[in-house]
Structure 1
Amino acid sequence: MARNQRDRYYWLAKSDGYRSRASYKLQQINKKFNVIKRNDTVVDLGAAPGGWLQVARELSGGKVVGVDLRRIKPIESVDTIKGDITSESTVNKILDLVGEHGADVVICDAAPNMSGNWSLDHARSIDLANSAFECSQKILRPGGNFVVKVFQGDMFKEFIDRVKSEFVHTKAYNPEASRSQSAEIYVIGKKMLSTPVKRGDIYEVRIESKGSSGDGVGSIDGFVVFVKDAEVGEKLRVKVRDVRPNFAFADVVERLDNPSDPSRK
C-alpha cells in the first residue's frame, strides 16, 4: 500500500477508471509497436482483474475476449471465459467466440504467484509465458500479433528465440509504466508466420533459378527460399536464417551434388 501511494500510475488508474496500473503498460506498448488496430479481435490471456481488457476495448472497438482462472468482473462489450488456457476445452471456447478468422492479437500480462525464490519465480514466469505462447499459436490468425510478459533470467533467451521462430518481427520492451525495480519485460511478436519452414531448421532444396540480387532460388513445399552463394541446378542442404510471410532466406550447410554432374537430376 505504501508503494502504491507513491506510484503515479496507481493514482492515474484510480482517476481514469482503470482496474490496474498495468493498463498504461499496454497503452505504451501499443503506441510504440501498434500491435492493436481498430476493429481487431483481441484475446487477453490471464486477464483478471481486467485493466488490459479495458485498454484493448478502447484501442480496438472490436471483439475482445478475456480468459482467466478467476472470474473477471463484467466489462461492457467484452466477453469473458473462466478457464485454463492449457485446456483444449478453453481453447475451443475462445475459438467459438473469435470465429474461424481467429484472433488478430493475443496479449498476456499474467504473472505467477510469487514465492520470493527468484530462480523459482523466473522458471514459473517462463512456464506461464510458454503456455500463453502455445495458446496463441492455436487461436491467432496468420499475420497476427502477440504480447506477453516474462521475468528476465537465464531462461529468457530460449523463450524469445522460440517466439522469433514464429513471427516476422520480435522485440523485447520495457514500458515506462513498469516499476523500476521490476525484472519484468514484454516480448512482442508481430506478424505470425504460417509457412512450411522455420527459422533455424535444415532442409534439402534444389536451386531452380537466380534472384535479382544473385541469390539462388529454390522452394520447399512450394514456399520460396533464397539461398546465398548457390548456383542453378545445385542440390543443397540449407539452414533457414530468416523467414518472411512469403519467402525465406537460407545459407548453405552442405552441397549434395555438383551442378555439372548430369546425374544430378
Structure 2
Amino acid sequence: MGRTNKDKRDLYYRRAKEEGWRARSAFKLLQLNDQFNLFDNITRVVDLCAAPGSWSQVLSKNLSPDSTIVAVDLQPMTPIDNVTTIQADITHPKTLQRILDCFGGEPADFVCSDGAPDVTGLHDLDEYIQAQLILSALQLTTCLLKPGGSFVAKIFRGRDIDLLYSQLSYLFDKVICAKPRASRGTSLEAFIVCLGYKPREGWTPKLDLGVSSEEFFDGSNIGKQGTMEVYELDEEERKIAPFIACGDINDIDSDATYSLDVSSLTLDPVQKPTAPPYKKALEMKRNGELQRR
C-alpha cells in the first residue's frame, strides 16, 4: 500500500492501515468468509501468490493455533506469526513437495489465491493472463487438495469467463462468482469460490515443468476451448456460476473516498513493496545498458 498515491484516500486502504493489515485485500477474504464460512473445520491451508501477505494475516488470526498455513510466492515476504513462507514458483513440482512436507504428507483443506498480473489496460490480454494464472493455481490445487476441500481465486470477469466456470464445475460441487464489498465496483475483479472438490475418476494430476496447462488437464475431461470450422449448437450445457455480492450493505463503500489532511499521521509499511520481474530490465534501460539487437 503506497503512501503517495490516490489510494491514501480509499476508505478500505485507511482502515487496513489503522488495523494493521498489510493490504486492503484482507477485507475481501474476511467478507468472503462471512458469506461462505470458508474457515470452518480447516487446519491445513495454502495461500498462493501470497505477497505482500494480507490473506495469510487473515488466516493466521482466524484459524486455530494448531493449524498449518503455508504461503507461497516468488517475492520475498516479511514473516507472519504461525505462517510458513515458501519463496518459490507455484508451477514447479518441487514446490508441491515442499508444501506437502509442511503438511506431513497430508492433503490441504483449503487453497486460496489473490494473485493477479500487472495489468496492461488491454482488457482481453489482462483477462487471458489472469485465466492462465488461475489455471496454474488450479493445477497445484488438484495435486494437493483433499476431496471436499475448497478453492478460492481472483478472476477478471470477461466475455469468455463462462468457460472457466464450466471447467471448474466438473471439479467442484458448487462454483460461485462472488464480489466482496471491499472490491471496487468499477473493477472487473471478482472471486471464484469453489466448494466440495471432487477428483476426476481415472485421472491423476501430476505437475511437470514441460507440460502446458492444456496438456496437464488432458484426460480429465473437463472441456477446453477450441475453434471449429462450422459453428453448430450441441446439447452440451454451459455452466453459469451464480453471482453473489458479499459483505454487509452497511459496510464501507469501496469506491468512496475522503479528503486527507496533509498533517495526518502516516504509518510505515510492514511489508516491503513487491518487485516486478521486469525491474532489472527497467534499471538496465535507465542506465543505457540495454541495446537493440
TM-score range normalised by the length of the shorter chain: 0.7 to 0.9
Confirm or deny: 8 A CA contact 2:42 2:110 kept in the other structure: no
What residue in structure 2 maps to residue 31 of structure 1? 34
Relative distance call for 1:240 and 1:121 in structure 2 (3 A) is closer
Match runs of 1:118-157 below 5 Å: 118-157=123-162
Q: Quick one: distance in 2 between partners of 1:159 and 1:241? A: 10
Would you identify which runs of 4 or more consecutive aligned residues in structure 1 move more than 4 Å? 197-201, 239-242
| Aligned equivalent of 2:74 | 69
Cα separation, partners in 2 of 1:39 and 1:186, compared to 1, 3 Å: closer
Q: Distance in 1 between matches of 2:34 and 2:171?
A: 23
- CA gap of 1:133–1:165, structure 2 versus 1, over 3 A, is same
TM-score (norm 2): 0.66
CA contact (8 A) 2:167 2:222 kept: no
Structure 1 pair 12–38 and aligned structure 2 pair: CA distance change class (3 A): farther
Say whether residues 1:171 and 2:170 are aligned partners.
no
Partner SS state of residue 174, structure 1: strand
Aligned equivalents of 2:5, 2:102: Cα separation in 1: 41
Using the size of structure 1 for normalisation, the TM-score is 0.72
Q: In structure 1, how many angstroms separate the alpha carbons of the residues matched to 2:172 and 2:44?
A: 18
Q: Distance in 1 between matches of 2:42 and 2:155?
A: 27
The superposition leaves residues 211-242 of structure 1 with CA deviations (integer Å, 9 ceiling, x where unpaired) of xxxxxxxxxxxxxxxxxxxxxxxxxxxx9999
Alignment: residue pair count: 205
Alpha-carbon distance in structure 1 between the residues aligned to 2:40 and 2:26 = 16
Structure 1 unaligned spans of 5+: 202-238, 243-265
Give the root-mean-square deviation of aligned CA atoms: 2.2
* Bigger-Rg structure (1/2): 1
User: Corresponding residue for 1:90?
Assistant: 95
Aligned partner of 2:17 in structure 1 is: 14
1:91, 1:64 → 2: CA distance? Answer: 14
* 199 and 93 in structure 1: CA distance in 2 versus 1, 3 angstrom threshold: same
CA contact (8 A) 1:174 1:186 kept: yes
User: In structure 1, what is the equivalent of residue 51 of structure 2?
Assistant: 48
Aligned sequence identity (%): 35
Q: Output one character per residue of 1:44-80: Cα deviation in whole Å (capped at 9) or x when no partner.
A: 0000000000001122221111000101110011001
* Structure 2 unaligned spans of 5+: 203-219, 224-235, 240-293
- The change in CA–CA distance for 1:195 and 1:86 in structure 2 (over 3 A counts) is closer
CA contact (8 A) 1:200 1:241 kept: no
CA contact (8 A) 1:44 1:53 kept: yes
If asked which structure has higher relative contact order (CA below 8 Å, sep 6+), I would say 2
Give the CA deviation at 1:171: 0.4
Amino acid at match of 2:120: S
